[in-house]
Structure 1
Amino acid sequence: MRSFTNFQTDLLRTFVSVIDLGAFTKAGDALGRTQPAVSLQVKRLEELVGAPIIRQVGRTLLLTSEGEMLLSYAREILRLNDEAASYFNRSKIAGVIRVGLPNDYAVAFLQGVITEYTRRNPEISLELHCGWSAEILDRLRADELDLAVAMVNNERAQYLSRSWIERPIWAAAETATFDRKKGIPLAAHPEGCAYRARMIQALDAAQIRWRVAYTGSGIGGLQNAVVNGLGASALTRYTMLPGMRVLDEMDGFPSLAEIRVGLFYKHPRLSDASIRLVNHIIARLDEAGVSNDPIRRAGELDRQ
């Protein structure tokens, strides 16, 4: 008969709390345990894994490759466990949820997903904060946000739960034509935007002249600039509007490099309402076919 290793949720919760809060003492404060008790629980988890999962360099806690993999499993297990506990305890879904969304991402789809959740739970007050990805993640670290969607860079991404790939597409007004000798007019977010960088990199690599004809931080203004023929821009399928058409290599526009987007949160800081929102977002991403398997993501991060 096959034997199974049982990863107890209290051990996984301690592990995730240590990583998300960045210290054994802070994790103990959040969980109501002493620092030695937290250390013993992490040690017990390492015995179950059969390898170290955390190593300390100075005051910094770093994950081993086994720890990276276990963290992805642990987040998923706790996410589902806590939603089930909330449901069967008949927890009241109420309170304020603070969500960060990036200016440089197609927020229309996710805004719809989030507002759908709040319509189903009218006692929830939603606060949406838009900004650049780096700014949003800084606010999450400072506990000014409960969860965030942001661009994922090539480094190991703290607080990352799920990630997915977006392939930006070139968009222009249906009637727009471009004279490459004069340079391609671009409608773009300000410098620092991943989509702006992808456009410039692609055009420079193809040795195509360009100029920025419109700059604005809001997605609505960018969409209007494209529809009104001010320039071409990099969008996603979620933010294409009537009056726009997709440009491709047949139109002389080189393909754009993909962008990795992630869902971030500190599990120890999430309320029941926030846990259910996280699960709602992940379910909608899975339905849309854009949410990557988190375990595969962990392996990808480990190889970077």
Structure 2
Amino acid sequence: MGNIVNFQTDLLRTFVSVIDLGAYTKAGEALGRTQPAISLQIRRLEELVGAPIIRQVGRTLLLTGEGEMLLSYAREMLRLNDQAASYFNRSKIAGVLRVGLPNDYAVSFLQGVITEYTREHQGISLEIHCGWSAEILDRLRADELDLAVAMVNNERAQYLSRSWIERPIWAAADSGELDLAKGIALAAHPEGCAYRARMIQALDAAQIRWRVAYTGSGIGGLQNAVVNGLGISALTRYTMLPGMRALDDSDGLPPLAEIRVGLFYKHPRLSDAGIRLVNHIIARLDEAGVSGDPVRRPIELDRQ
């Protein structure tokens, strides 16, 4: 049996801190270490991996292929370590948690999961901020949020912990009649919504005429518009309501492109309460059968 490599959690925590905070100096400040000490720990980690994990191009830090893989494992190992530490510490979990949720995802499901957690921990004050995914991630980068659920775009996946695939469903009123020859009335979020874009792309590709009959940013208004027959829309299984039916190719509608949704947070900045909430969300996603692997793609970080 070959030598077993032990990845010390302090080395992994340094690595994740450098990635999440975007610089060796910022990681050092967060962890109470000097920049040379941080650099030394990264080199030690590279010795254990047997390959470079971070390379610098100009002022930008880039993850290597091995670094991407290690980041995925490191987040999970630190999450389990911190979960165990908070369990045995038995300290009172308290504080304010600021959570960002997207307008155009299953807000009701996630709000239920998050408020369930806060009911179990009376010392926690919850602030939920809803907005478009890009805006939510900007707020997370600016430290205005502790954790966020947002659409994963293909350019960057900074702070991404878990991601999963959602395939939107065409939803219509139970009593609604569909006549493709007359065109489709849509109920949609305003421009910029991933679901709106997928509806239009699918209908255009199938050469089906459409018009937007209802526009609103709130999920409740969109659901009411569908139930009342104002238009059909793209929803997730969690936002389907009584009075709606799902449409598919048997109704003549093309399938909608899938959407990747992610759970984002800055691990070095997360409190015990935040770590526990992340674990709670991941457990509920696993139970619901929607949790998947982290997205592994190059992450570009500004070294400032």
Q: CA deviation at 1:108?
A: 1.1
- Partner SS for 1:84: helix
Q: Which residue of 2 aligns with 1:111?
A: 111
Q: Which residue of 2 aligns with 1:280?
A: 280
Q: Which residue of 2 aligns with 1:50?
A: 50
* Superposed CA offset, 1:99-132 (max 9, x none): 0000011111111110110010011000000000
Provide the C-alpha distance between the structure 2 equivalents of 1:91 and 1:161, rounded to a whole number of angstroms: 25
Provide the C-alpha distance between the structure 1 equivalents of 2:220 and 2:113, rounded to a whole number of angstroms: 18
Q: Which residue of 1 aligns with 2:100?
A: 100
Residues matched between the structures, number:
298
Q: Which residue of 1 aligns with 2:128?
A: 128
- Partner SS for 1:291: coil
Provide the C-alpha distance between the structure 1 equivalents of 2:236 and 2:145, rounded to a whole number of angstroms: 25
Q: Which residue of 2 aligns with 1:59?
A: 59
Whichever residue aligns with residue 44 of structure 1, its letter is: R
- Partner SS for 2:154: coil
Q: CA deviation at 1:20?
A: 0.3
Conserved? CA contact 2:146–2:270, under 8 Å: yes
Q: Which residue of 2 aligns with 1:217?
A: 217
Gaps of 5+ in 1: none
- Partner SS for 1:162: strand
Q: Which residue of 2 aligns with 1:40?
A: 40
Q: Which residue of 2 aligns with 1:14?
A: 14
Whichever residue aligns with residue 269 of structure 1, its letter is: R
- Partner SS for 1:137: helix
Provide the C-alpha distance between the structure 2 equivalents of 1:71 and 1:142, rounded to a whole number of angstroms: 22
Whichever residue aligns with residue 67 of structure 2, its letter is: G
Provide the C-alpha distance between the structure 2 equivalents of 1:293 and 1:257, rounded to a whole number of angstroms: 19
- Partner SS for 1:292: coil
- Partner SS for 2:276: helix
Q: Which residue of 1 aligns with 2:69?
A: 69
Identity %: 87
Provide the C-alpha distance between the structure 2 equivalents of 1:80 and 1:144, rounded to a whole number of angstroms: 25
Q: CA deviation at 1:85?
A: 0.7
Conserved? CA contact 1:190–1:216, under 8 Å: yes
> Does 1:194 pair with 2:194?
yes
Q: CA deviation at 1:59?
A: 1.7
Whichever residue aligns with residue 5 of structure 1, its letter is: V
Provide the C-alpha distance between the structure 2 equivalents of 1:101 and 1:197, rounded to a whole number of angstroms: 19
- Partner SS for 1:212: strand
Provide the C-alpha distance between the structure 2 equivalents of 1:111 and 1:44, rounded to a whole number of angstroms: 41
Whichever residue aligns with residue 255 of structure 2, its letter is: S
- Partner SS for 1:165: strand
Q: Which residue of 1 aligns with 2:302?
A: none
Q: CA deviation at 1:156?
A: 3.5
Q: CA deviation at 1:87?
A: 1.2
Conserved? CA contact 1:91–1:272, under 8 Å: no
Q: Which residue of 1 aligns with 2:81?
A: 81
Which structure's relative contact order is higher, taking Cα pairs within 8 Å and 6+ residues apart?
2
Provide the C-alpha distance between the structure 1 equivalents of 2:58 and 2:217, rounded to a whole number of angstroms: 40
Provide the C-alpha distance between the structure 1 equivalents of 2:242 and 2:44, rounded to a whole number of angstroms: 57
Q: Which residue of 1 aligns with 2:149?
A: 149
Question: Runs (4+) of structure 1 moved beyond 3 Å?
Answer: none
Provide the C-alpha distance between the structure 1 equivalents of 2:233 and 2:91, rounded to a whole number of angstroms: 45
Q: CA deviation at 1:293?
A: 2.9
Q: CA deviation at 1:183?
A: 1.6
- Partner SS for 1:284: helix
Provide the C-alpha distance between the structure 2 equivalents of 1:219 and 1:226, rounded to a whole number of angstroms: 11
- Aligned alpha-carbon RMSD (Å): 0.9
**Farther-moved stretch of structure 1 (17-26 vs 83-92):** 83-92
Provide the C-alpha distance between the structure 2 equivalents of 1:258 and 1:128, rounded to a whole number of angstroms: 26
Whichever residue aligns with residue 19 of structure 2, its letter is: I
Provide the C-alpha distance between the structure 1 equivalents of 2:278 and 2:269, rounded to a whole number of angstroms: 13
* Superposed CA offset, 1:159-209 (max 9, x none): 000000000000000011133233200000000100001100110010000
Provide the C-alpha distance between the structure 1 equivalents of 2:263 and 2:198, rounded to a whole number of angstroms: 21
Provide the C-alpha distance between the structure 1 equivalents of 2:92 and 2:98, rounded to a whole number of angstroms: 18
* Superposed CA offset, 1:213-259 (max 9, x none): 00000000000000000000000110000000011111111110100
Q: CA deviation at 1:89?
A: 1.2
Q: CA deviation at 1:61?
A: 1.0
Q: Which residue of 2 aligns with 1:289?
A: 289
Provide the C-alpha distance between the structure 2 equivalents of 1:289 and 1:179, rounded to a whole number of angstroms: 35
Gaps of 5+ in 2: 299-304
Whichever residue aligns with residue 28 of structure 1, its letter is: G
Q: CA deviation at 1:142?
A: 0.2
